[in-house]
């Protein structure tokens, strides 16, 4: 069983009741809301337990943590009304009285009763959200089948087809079957929802998948100075202005060479041009050239080392 993480929005068990954590206080007390009744209470963090896996699968917790206090209060009012209706000897007359009192129709009151009998909890009487449920698909099963087919036959292959090709193929196959082609948005949403590892296994070579997802054993050790020098690029948080008109030209790029063993800057290159192989070459030139030359050129950074490192590690540039 996984360890319970006590954070707002997490689901747990307190006093044999399924609750959602609302707030964690600095004193160690946790404010929780009972999922069945909507009641809010405070309990020690030590009294919370992880929700069993089997119970988690049976519960539909979608959106409950986002339910407002006003909606919970409305659900509790409905529950009280339904309980009065169940205890009444004249159900028809009591349903009419509740309908007049709460400003709804008798049919609505009986719908509440049916929902409460099916699931006797406050959450069963929460106001319905407007629109389609989160994650629900509005496409027909035939179009869903075409999208699945194209993803399997075109996208999840070693040819590494682009997403636009998937959209195009879906349109062609829908036209062939005389179906209305969906827009790009639901197709791209389906691609984004795919498991990243499964996509990599289908589209990449085994070595590429291993490099992305598998842990490499061992450690990276550097024993002496200048054994390994790493080079990377970053944009400086400074805007360069034009000398004459004082108009902004842009932010310069700084290329740094850093010795891994000593963490010392061995060279640099500053330019308004985007990083490239030229930036790396000029940075390496500054790394290996004598320090007095750097001072004679009035460079901003005084480098306290010079020499030829045997290994260079460069970051990628755009």
Give residue-wise pLDDT tens across range 103-117: 989 889 888 888 888
User: Residue 99 in contact with residue 106, Cβ under 8 Å?
Assistant: yes
- Supply the mean pLDDT for the chain: 80
Q: What are 159-213's pLDDT values in tens digits?
A: 889 999 999 999 999 999 999 999 999 999 999 989 888 999 999 998 888 888 7
Q: What is the spatial distance between Cα 228 and Cα 221, in angstroms, rounded to a whole number?
A: 10
**What percentage of the chain carries pLDDT values higher than 70?**
79
Say what the pLDDT of residue 21 is.
82
Say what the pLDDT of residue 58 is.
41
19: number of CA atoms within 13 Å, CB side?
26
Say what the pLDDT of residue 162 is.
92
Is residue 270 over pLDDT 90? yes
Q: What are 256-267's pLDDT values in tens digits?
A: 999 888 888 888
Q: What are 283-315's pLDDT values in tens digits?
A: 998 888 776 544 544 444 444 455 555 555 554
- 198-203 contacts, C-beta under 8 A, 24 or more apart: 198/156, 199/155, 199/156, 202/155, 202/156, 202/157, 202/158, 203/155, 203/156, 203/157, 203/158, 203/160
Residue 205 to residues 42, 118, 210, 278: CA-CA distances in angstroms? 53, 52, 9, 32
User: Residue 38 in contact with residue 122, Cβ under 8 Å?
Assistant: yes
Residue 168 to residues 147, 164, 187, 265, 306: CA-CA distances in angstroms? 11, 6, 10, 50, 56
User: Residue 305 in contact with residue 290, Cβ under 8 Å?
Assistant: no
Residue, of 221 and 141, whose pLDDT is higher: 141
What single string gives the DSSP state of each residue in the chain? Answer: -PPP---TT-EEEETTEEEEEEEE-TTSEEEEEETTT--EEEEEGGG-EEPPHHHHHH---TTGGG--HHHHHHHHHHHHHHHHHHH-S-HHHHHHHHHHHHT--HHHHHHHHHHHHHS-SGGGGSPPPSSSPTT---S-HHHHHHHHHHIIIIISSTT---HHHHHHHHHHHHHHTT-PPP-HHHHHHHHHTS-HHHHHHHHS-HHHHHHHHSPPPS-----STTSEEEEEEEE-S--EE-TTT--EEEPPEEEEEEETTT--EEEEEEESSPP-HHHHHHHHHHHHS-HHHHHHTT-SS--------SEEEE----
Say what the pLDDT of residue 165 is.
93
Work out the angle at residue 130's Cα, subtended by the Cα atoms of residues 116 and 33, and round it to the nearest 5 degrees: 50
Confidence tier at 57 by pLDDT (50, 70, 90): very low
Q: What are 80-135's pLDDT values in tens digits?
A: 988 888 888 888 888 889 989 989 898 898 888 888 888 888 888 888 766 555 55
Q: What is the spatial distance between Cα 289 and Cα 102, in angstroms, rounded to a whole number?
A: 85
Residue, of 55 and 200, whose pLDDT is higher: 200
Say what the pLDDT of residue 291 is.
60
Confidence tier at 59 by pLDDT (50, 70, 90): very low
Q: Which residue has the tokens 């929780």?
A: 32
């Amino acid at each position: 069983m996984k360890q319970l993480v006590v954070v707002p929005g997490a689901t747990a068990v307190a006093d044999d009741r399924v609750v959602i954590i609302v707030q964690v206080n600095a004193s160690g007390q946790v404010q929780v809301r009972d999922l069945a009744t909507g009641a809010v209470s405070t309990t020690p963090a030590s009294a919370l337990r992880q929700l069993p896996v089997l119970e988690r699968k049976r519960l539909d917790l979608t959106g409950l943590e986002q339910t407002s206090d006003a909606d919970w209060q409305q659900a509790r009012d409905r529950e009280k009304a339904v309980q009065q209706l169940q205890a009444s000897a004249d159900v028809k007359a009591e349903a009419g009285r509740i309908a007049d009192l709460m400003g709804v129709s008798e049919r609505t009151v009986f719908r509440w009763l049916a929902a409460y009998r099916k699931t006797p909890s406050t959450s069963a009487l929460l106001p319905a959200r407007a629109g389609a449920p989160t994650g629900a698909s509005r496409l027909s099963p035939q179009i869903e089948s075409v999208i699945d087919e194209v993803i399997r036959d075109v996208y999840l292959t070693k040819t590494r087809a682009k997403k636009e090709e998937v959209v195009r193929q879906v349109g062609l196959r829908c036209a062939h079957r005389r179906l209305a082609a969906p827009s790009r948005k639901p197709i791209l949403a389906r691609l984004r929802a795919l498991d990243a590892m499964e996509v990599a296994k289908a589209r990449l070579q085994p070595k590429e998948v291993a490099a992305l997802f598998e842990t490499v054993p061992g450690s990276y050790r550097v024993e002496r100075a200048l054994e390994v020098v790493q080079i990377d690029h970053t944009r400086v948080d400074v805007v360069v202005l034009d000398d004459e008109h004082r108009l902004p030209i842009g932010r310069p790029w700084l290329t740094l060479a850093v010795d891994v063993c000593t963490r010392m800057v061995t060279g640099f290159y500053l330019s308004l041009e985007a990083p490239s192989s030229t930036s790396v070459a000029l940075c390496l030139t500054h790394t290996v050239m004598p320090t007095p030359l750097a001072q004679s050129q009035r460079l901003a950074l005084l480098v306290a080392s010079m020499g030829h490192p045997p290994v260079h590690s460069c970051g990628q540039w755009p």
